[in-house]
Each structure stands twice: as C-alpha cells, then as structure tokens.
Chains A and B, each alone.
Chain A
Amino acid sequence: EDKVVQSPLSLVVHEGDTVTLNCSYEVTNFRSLLWYKQEKKAPTFLFMLTSSGIEKKSGRLSSILDKKELFSILNITATQTGDSAVYLCARNSGGSNYKLTFGKGTLLTVNP
C-alpha cells in the first residue's frame, strides 16, 4: 500500500519559533511530492518536489526531498499566528494517473 506518514500529528509553538514538519512515504513508483496548507477551507498549494536535494523556498517556508530515504521536510522559520493550519503532504505516484495520496496532516498552532 502506498502510505504517506506525517509527523508530528500536532505541534504547538510560540511566534518566532522555527518548526520542521516531516513526511515519509512508501512507493514503488514516484513522480512528485507536494505540500499543501489547509486552514478552514481549500488546501492551498505550497511546493511540489521532484528531485532530491534541491531546496524550494517561498519566504519563510522551505522544503526539501530525499528520494533515497523517501522523506521530505517542510521548514517554517520565524513563525507567525497566520501560519496556524493543517499542513498536508501528498505523493503523486506517476504513470497516467495524477491522483494524490495524502498523509493525515500536521496541525500547527502558533501562539502569540
């Protein structure tokens, strides 16, 4: 079964802290790994990773993929209360089907 496992499941930090969210996956076929942020509504796209060792950055967020060890991390530096959300990791297994397999998500709470 193609599982995606995220850890921790929940995390509470103070504003200004740095957090690292983890995502591991089991796969025989692999196309890409994606990170989404979900607040009350739609998951919003953050990053898509296809190659090992290449960091992607957007402001205070960054992410990297290790295809040998089958994991990815999402880093958030100088956290703000607006970063509070569920962060979802998803794998696209490739082939002609582009469906995503999601982990359960990490609930991040940033307190002022």
Chain B
Amino acid sequence: GAGVSQSPRYKVAKRGQDVALRCDPISGHVSLFWYQQALGQGPEFLTYFQNEAQLDKSGLPSDRFFAERPEGSVSTLKIQRTQQEDSAVYLCASSLGVQPQHFGDGTRLSIL
C-alpha cells in the first residue's frame, strides 16, 4: 500500500503478558518513529530509527519497552510484562529526512 501500515489495529492483553506491535512504513522512507498517544493527549515520542539504526530511544518509558528495525524497513515495538498504564494508542510514522512524517492508523492497546 501507499501509506504506513500498522497491525494489529486493536490488541487486548492481560496485565503481565507480552505484546508485539508491527509497523510497515512507506517504501523508501529511511526514518521511522514510534509515538504513544493517551486519550485526550497529543502523541508522545518513544523512539526513532534511521534505516536499521536506533538513533534515539529516550522516550521509551521503561526497559519493558523495546523496538527494533532489523532490515531498515518493518519495525516492531515490543512491550514486556504489560501494565495498565501501557494502555494507549501506539502510532508509527515514517518520513524522508526533513520531510513531514506520515502516520499509520495506530494500534489501540488495552491492558486488562
């Protein structure tokens, strides 16, 4: 497809379970970002990749959060031992350098 694709669209997990969220960026976009959006808030930066290199992970809230982009295309955000405060929409965006970021529809994560 032409846009950023994220899966699953919705994920429900029990507290303590591990989850994995996938992002397929726009073809050719070297920059990939993950954001977390809580209800009624703007997106908050989690981590940034340029190709396969993770250049900034300063926004990851704890060491339970881990992201990878091994071949410089698809990225996975993994959350271990989920907690209720992890419930949010996780947005992925991609871009070419200084060009505007284009967002996927997000994964809505609910932790019970």
- Please tell me if B75 contacts chain A, counting CB pairs below 8 Å: no
CB-CB < 8 A to A96: which residues of B? 55
Q: Judge whether A99 and B56 touch: CB under 8 Å.
A: yes
CB-CB < 8 A to A104: which residues of B? 40-42
In the complex, residue of chain B having the shortest beta-carbon distance to the beta carbon of A36 = B103
Q: Judge whether A90 and B91 touch: CB under 8 Å.
A: no
Q: Count B-side interface residues using an 8 Å CB cutoff.
A: 26
Which among A42, A88, A92 is the interface contact of B42 at CB below 8 angstroms? A88
Query: What does the 1/0 interface line of A71-112 toward B look like (CB < 8 Å)?
Result: 000000000000000001010100011111111110000000
Which among B3, B43, B59, B95 is the interface contact of A43 at CB below 8 angstroms? B43
Q: Judge whether B45 and A99 touch: CB under 8 Å.
A: yes
Q: Judge whether B98 and A99 touch: CB under 8 Å.
A: no
- Please tell me if B79 contacts chain A, counting CB pairs below 8 Å: no
Which among A34, A42, A90 is the interface contact of B104 at CB below 8 angstroms? A42
Additional pairs, 9, CB under 8 Å, beyond known A42-B104, A98-B101, A100-B45: A43-B103, A88-B42, A96-B55, A99-B45, A99-B59, A100-B35, A100-B43, A102-B44, A104-B41
Known A97-B55, A98-B31, A104-B40: A45·B45 in contact at CB below 8 Å: no
Known A99-B33, A102-B42, A105-B42: A48·B55 in contact at CB below 8 Å: no
Near A by CB (< 8 A), chain B positions 25-71 give 31, 33, 35, 40-45, 48, 55-56, 59
